[in-house]
Chains A and B, each alone.
Chain A
């Protein structure tokens, strides 16, 4: 047996897994999105593009508005993760601290707690009636009525940013570490302050990490389901919640599938445009 054949053989288990549990369901969903809806069964015989047209051409723009809200939520979550994550990643990349490993642990800590427990934790803090923040502020007579910290976009964003921050920091960390510290010194010796050095040298050179982290966080956000449900309680409607509602509650499989693909395609387009735009900003990297 040749070496390449052996390699192929070793790939088979993974390939089989991917085909059986990723590719086939995907294809099934694509097919599903073109099926004729039915009220008595999962779908009726025959194929149609009505599912897509109904979603896109809805006169009230109901579905497109939810799609837009989803993208906006993805945008803000990504931007805030990047803003919070970059200084952290920079510090972690450059620190000589003896507790560096501990710092890594802190960065990863949100991932070590299950999503439901994490959300209930946030509920205790953000809750409108007996939540830690509202209670404290009321006791101190700083506010009369509860602040709306939960069951809205704010609460959902907090929950999302908390858990997605590591997905931003880790790729950033890798690319900042690859930036030679001598470049920072060169920049300073040429008269740039540390802040200018940050924006003219370090940020552009860590673009691959910024792109990778942003894509991860964006994709995770626009496809998030549990956190928007628990911290948004259906008051924050985004595409994944809508899709699950259509399929599980309304049993409208073909329409739900069509919505899911509209989300995928829209997300893909946003990422494509993002990559094109950022690549143009920094021509020498990549």
Chain B
């Protein structure tokens, strides 16, 4: 299939720089999601790749050859739109046939491919329906089928699940991911939903303000975010302000916090005495009624709030006058508000971030 390369891609709308010189390489068969808050430039990037926006600078390459001057209809892409954009005056079959008719495929082959594709998206028998006779989830799958039936070089998905209800959205994540793996098509997935991008992606590209802030596998992005902004955007985090006190190993430092000395992990190097931020995810912290006496990182505090969520209990632990640690406890955990408590976590499960947002 196809590899994609963005070289210093820049796109402006008047004075606003929507995409600010991004570089990205996407390999064959890979599903990469562009993740970021609204206005971060992820959709504009996708539209530049599709040819709907013309970049002000940089280049876009499919398989090493530039597509910059190419009209959208010449790029051979499959695109799924947020509102599906199904042709309301055509049946499901008509929608699927459209791209093949443009390619002058003969009618027999069109019919065969429609049958085959409807089967893949589990809509066999619905070929004669009009889009407005279908449910949201079915329309979504027609949109996907319409994009895939032309056997495009690259599949572009622009927030395709945003209009579905929560349960269906979760099912469709797995469905799309499996389909993409089966076909092996290079895919770019734009979303602002971090859980969605975690589940579906081979790699995630985190974007803020038109720039790429981090590229990595879902686990890397989650466990070792490059900045506090990313850590904050993806999942829940506790941030503890601290000062580097000494280097303990290649990737371990001792740090001083308001509640005492702790140890943490990083791949960056920090000078002794510099201000840093320690990130601890709520689910890596375990709660204990007694201290482990120095074998782990520990913070002592008091249970301030307790919320039962079914699969977990969220505790909010006050460990200094103005600092709260959020912890996900087991649902059978019995600590109550007011209990004095030890919050314990592994050195390897905490992560040092530079101060400042970028």
Task: Kindly state whether residue B79 has any CB partner on chain A within 8 Å.
Answer: yes
Q: Tell me if B62 counts as interface (CB < 8 A to partner A).
A: no
Task: Give the residues from 74 to 115 in chain B that come closer than 8 angstroms, CB to CB, to chain A.
Answer: 75-79, 81-83, 85-91, 98-99, 102-103
A-contacting residues, B29-63, CB 8 Å? 50-52
* Min C-beta distance of A181 to chain B, whole Å: 9
Is B72 touching A189 in the complex (CB atoms < 8 A)? yes
Q: How far is the CB of B51 from chain A (nearest CB, A)?
A: 8
Q: How far is the CB of A55 from chain B (nearest CB, A)?
A: 42
Footprint of A on B, CB under 8 Å?
50-52, 71-73, 75-79, 81-83, 85-91, 98-99, 102-103, 130, 146-147, 150, 156
In the complex the two chains form, what is the Cα distance from A15 to B150 in whole Å? Answer: 58
User: Which residues 253-286 in A have Cβ within 8 Å of B in the complex?
Assistant: 282-285
Closest 9 CB pairs of A and B: A190-B99, A284-B89, A191-B102, A186-B85, A182-B85, A189-B79, A188-B72, A188-B73, A191-B73
Interface string of A183-200 (1 = CB under 8 A from B): 101111111110010001
Interface of B is mostly: loop
- A282 — which chain B residues lie within 8 A by C-beta? 89
Contacts of A187 in B (CB 8 A): 87, 98
Q: Which residues of B contact A192 (CB under 8 A)?
A: 73, 98, 102
Q: A191-B102, A192-B73, A205-B89 are known contacts; what are 6 more A-B pairs with Cβ within 8 Å?
A: A183-B87, A185-B50, A186-B146, A190-B73, A191-B150, A285-B88
Q: Which chain B positions have C-beta within 8 A of A284?
A: 88-91, 130
- A196 closest partner in B (C-beta): B102
A residues sitting closer than 8 Å to B (CB atoms) are 180, 182-183, 185-193, 196, 200-201, 204-205, 282-285
B85 touches A180 (CB 8 A): yes
8 examples of A-B residue contacts, CB within 8 angstroms: A180-B85, A187-B98, A188-B51, A190-B73, A190-B150, A191-B102, A193-B73, A196-B102
Residue among B72, B91, B147 having the largest count of chain A Cβ atoms under 10 Å? B72
> What distance in Å separates the Cβ of A122 from its nearest Cβ neighbour in chain B?
40
In the bound complex, residues from chain A placing their C-beta under 8 Å from that of B98 are 187, 190, 192, 200
A182 to B84, CA, bound (A): 9
Q: A180-B83, A182-B81, A186-B81 are in contact. Are A193 and B71 (CB under 8 A)?
A: yes
